[in-house]
Amino acid sequence: AAEVSTGNGYPGWQPNYDSALLKNMQALYKKEFGREAAVKVIHAGLECGLFGTSYPNWDMISFGPDIRYPHSPDEKVHIASVERFWHFLKLSLR
């Protein structure tokens, strides 16, 4: 017999498609890379859910490198996307 218990998971986070931050980041991405940024909603635990609970008025987005099979033995990251992400992050902080 097994016993299962669950704890508090990440709270949900509803992205704001009218976000000024999102629009600015999309424009910066297009200017830098010459193409539209892929904007997606995924099923994952994100820090934005945690922050949004305490700071509901924050304008937030989440972005990062291309990762497959996260938090599993098969987790993989596309190396070129890490370099692109790092470059974009530095641009966004100027």
Q: Which of 86, 90, 92, 91 is nearest to 61 (CA)?
A: 92
Predicted TM-score (pTM) of the model is 0.81
Write out pLDDT tens, residues 11-59. 888 889 999 999 999 999 999 999 999 998 887 777 888 899 999 999 9
> Which run of H or of E encompasses 82?
helix 79-92
Q: Measured between alpha carbons, how far apart are the two ends of the chain, in Å?
A: 56
